[in-house]
Every structure is written in structure tokens, then in C-alpha cells.
Amino acid sequence: MGMPSAVPSEALVRSQKLINWQRLGRTLPGIVFLAPAVIAFIIFRYYPLLKGLYMSLFRWDTQNPPGAFVGLNNFSLTLSSDVFREVFVNTLLLYAFGMLLGFWVPVVQSLLLNELRRGYYLFRFLYVLPVMVPGIAFLMVWKYIWHPDFGLANAVMLILHLPKQLWLSDPKLVKLTLRLPSLLGGGMSVLIYTAAIQNVSLEVIEAAIMDGASAWQRTRFIILPNILPIVGILFVLSLTGSLLAFDDVWIMTGGGPGYSSTTLVMGVYQRAFVQNQYGLGSAWAVVILICTLILTLARLWTMREERM
């Protein structure tokens, strides 16, 4: 009774081996194509991250690396530094102004685009056009607009019979001034939101129209709930981008006047590449990484709770 079972068993083993080879044949091309990107990501992302963490534990000596081991002393100096606390507040305020003035603008522009029956493609092109302009050129134009002597902003203030302002040179106005251009909106966010809106079921929208729903009601109860996941993703990207702000502030103000517009990443740059304190600069970078991770994970967790 037990002997004949050996033959089916051998056939089963051969069949299992064949299935395994077939699976490998299906997955191997994907592994081959992904391998260069994964290797590059490890070399240019994770290695610098681990290297920075290692450097933060030393008083780094460029002539005789790694220098004296100081443990967590660089982190203690960072967290007890008045300059660190000031630039941390600056970064949060710049983020808050960016959210208040600019985050919602592409959403509104996309909703308005969706209601257009004429000129849709023209306006969509005009909203996306700024992406094609080099960022430095865009920032230099705004730097000229905010110039206190011959800039366009103060010319408008004079026409309105309002006092001239120093704008980027005023410690009280510089953060708001840096984020005012975001009121114009546009960019890739408009394209992303527009694509999300167009993926909303037309049958549901047409049914709402048949039931007499107004444009505002369709937007509030149908479109916005359906694009909230995309809004959440761009919110997280905006959050991480704001905590890593550097190029726009550096070009517009250089971090001034004083430290009034210096951001966390600019603080890393100044410590590491201006003051040659690579260990302390790495400690700043690690603290920024931890803060970014905490805030990002908190937001992703709240998004998960909202979906549940």
C-alpha cells in the first residue's frame, strides 16, 4: 500500500522545481533592472547617512580623521545652542507661512480648472509653465521685486500711498516676504491635483448634477473627499521640503539679516563648510533627520487613522 506513493512524490518534487524556476524567470528581469538603482541609492543615500552619523560622534579632524571621539557631546552642543533654537523656529515659521499662503492655492486652481469648459488646456499650460523656468532665475526676479530702493513691491506701495518697506532686509518681514510668492501657486502640484480630480467617477458627478447639486456641493462632498489621499501625500512632501529648505533662502537672503531667515540646513552648511566643524555639522544634520522622521511618521499615522 505504501510503495506506489514514491512515484507521485518524485513527480511532485520535479513539478515544484519547475515552478520555482518559472518564478525565478519572472522575477529575475525585475531584479536586474532594479539593481543599478538600488545600488546607487545605497551608495549616494544610505552611505552618506551612516557616514554623517559616524562623524557626529567625533570632533572631526580633516587632517587626521576621524579626530577625537566626543560621543554625544556634539548633540549636547547642538540642542543647547541658542543659534540652533533660533534657526529651528525660523524653519517652522517658514513652513507655517508656506502652508498658510501657498499649500491650498494649487488645490483651488485645480478645482477651478476642472470647471472650465473653454481654455482648459491653455490655463493648464500656463500653470505648469513656471516648472520649465530655472529656479534660480525665478528667485532672482523675486529678489529684484523685493529690493527696497528700486523694486516693484515698493513702487506699488508708493502708488497705494503706503510707506516703503525693507522687505528682505527687515527681520520682522523677511519670513513672510520669502513665502509670499507661493500665493501665485502653479507648478507640478496643479497638474497632480488636476489628474486626481479627473479620476473621480463621472457617473457619481453626473448623478449629483441630476439631483440638483451645485458646483460647491459637488466639490465639497464628492471631489475633495476623493482627492484627500493625494493632498495628504503632497502635504508630507511639503513638510519634508520645508524642513530641508536651503536654496531659495540662500539666494534671496543668505540667511540674513542676522539669523532671522537662517534655516536648519543652512546651519549645517555654515558649521560644516564655513566653520569646518564637520562633527558638529553632522550632529545638526542627524537632529534634522530625527525631527523630519518624527513629523513625517506622525502625519502618515494620522492619515492612516483618517482612512480607518
Rounded-to-integer distance, Cα 261 and Cα 175, Å: 6
Residues 214 and 281 in one domain: yes
User: What is the predicted pLDDT for the residue at 174?
Assistant: 95
Of 304 and 182, more confident: 182
How many domains would you assign to the chain? 2
Does 166 fall in a domain? no
Does 238 fall in a domain? yes
Give the cell for residue 47.
Answer: 552611505
pLDDT in tens, 167-198: 999 999 999 999 999 998 888 899 899 989 98
Residue identified by cell 497638474 is 191
Does 162 fall in a domain? no
User: What is the predicted pLDDT for the residue at 17?
Assistant: 66
Say if residue 3's pLDDT is above 60.
no
Percent of the chain with pLDDT over 90: 44
pTM passes above 0.85 = no
pLDDT in tens, 98-108: 999 989 999 99
**Residue 24, CB half-sphere, CA atoms under 13 Å: how many?**
6
Residue identified by cell 587626521 is 64
Does 225 fall in a domain? yes
Residue ranges making up the domain that contains 93: 75-132+182-307
Residues 79 and 30 in one domain: no
Integer-rounded Cα Rg, in Å, for the chain is 27
pLDDT range class, residue 6, cuts 50, 70, 90: very low
Residues 10 and 113 in one domain: no
pLDDT range class, residue 65, cuts 50, 70, 90: confident
Say if residue 129's pLDDT is above 60.
yes
Please choose, from the candidates 299, 271, 300, the residue with its C-alpha nearest in 3D space to the C-alpha of residue 56: 271
Does 223 fall in a domain? yes
pLDDT in tens, 85-97: 999 999 999 999 9
Does 128 fall in a domain? yes
Give the cell for residue 239.
Answer: 513638510
User: What is the predicted pLDDT for the residue at 1?
Assistant: 45
Residues 243 and 296 in one domain: yes
Neighbours of 271 (CB within 10 A): 25
Say if residue 215's pLDDT is above 60.
yes
Instruction: Give me the CATH number covering residue 282.
Output: 1.10.3720.10
Residues 8 and 109 in one domain: no
Burial code (b: 16+ CB inside 10 Å, e: under 16) for 121-154 equals eeebeebbeeeeeeeeeebeebeebbbeeebebb
Residues 198 and 128 in one domain: yes
